[in-house]
């Protein structure tokens, strides 16, 4: 059995991880700016004044990187999904029925945006 100090550290690390995930998710959910892959890339390319051939090459580099990221995160995805589902359950318990309806609508919008970006990334990995 672990000693109390190790248990406390494990609990704090878990709380930190969950807090980070919840904070990141709520920031993404509540933000109205366009943070799609295409918008972020365009802003970077415009800021650097990249020429069309440079933009195409950079797109290829970023697409390859995203495929590598997907490969790394694939084994972690079930654990991340579990944390996300647990947090949603706890958050839903805090909300009124009207608030849950509004949050569900936001979640659906965010999921649609997320699915579109994932589709773009997956198409680049083939």
Closest CA to 87 of 10, 19, 38, 27: 19
Q: How many CA atoms lie within 13 A of 100 on its CB side?
A: 10
Q: What percent of the chain has pLDDT above 90?
A: 50
Any idea what the Cα angle at residue 116 is, between residues 39 and 85, rounded to 5°? 110
**Cβ-based neighbours of 112, under 8 Å, separated by 6 or more:** none
Give the residue-averaged pLDDT of 89-99: 94
Contacts 24+ apart (CB under 8 A), 118-123: 120/37, 120/38, 121/37, 121/63, 121/66, 121/67, 121/70, 122/70
Q: What percent of the chain has pLDDT above 70?
A: 93
Taking only the tens place, the pLDDT of each residue in 37-58 is 888 899 999 999 999 999 999 9
């Amino acid at each position: 059995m672990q000693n109390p100090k190790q248990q406390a550290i494990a609990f704090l690390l878990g709380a930190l991880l969950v807090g980070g995930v919840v904070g990141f998710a709520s920031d993404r959910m509540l933000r109205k700016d366009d943070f799609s892959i295409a918008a972020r890339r365009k802003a970077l390319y415009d800021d650097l004044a990249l020429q069309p051939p440079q933009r195409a090459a950079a797109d290829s580099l970023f697409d390859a990187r995203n495929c590598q990221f997907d490969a790394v995160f694939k084994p972690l995805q079930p654990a991340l999904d579990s944390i996300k589902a647990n947090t949603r359950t706890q958050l839903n318990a805090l909300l009124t029925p009207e608030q849950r309806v509004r949050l569900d609508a936001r979640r659906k919008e965010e999921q649609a945006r997320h699915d579109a970006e994932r589709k773009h990334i997956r198409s680049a990995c083939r």
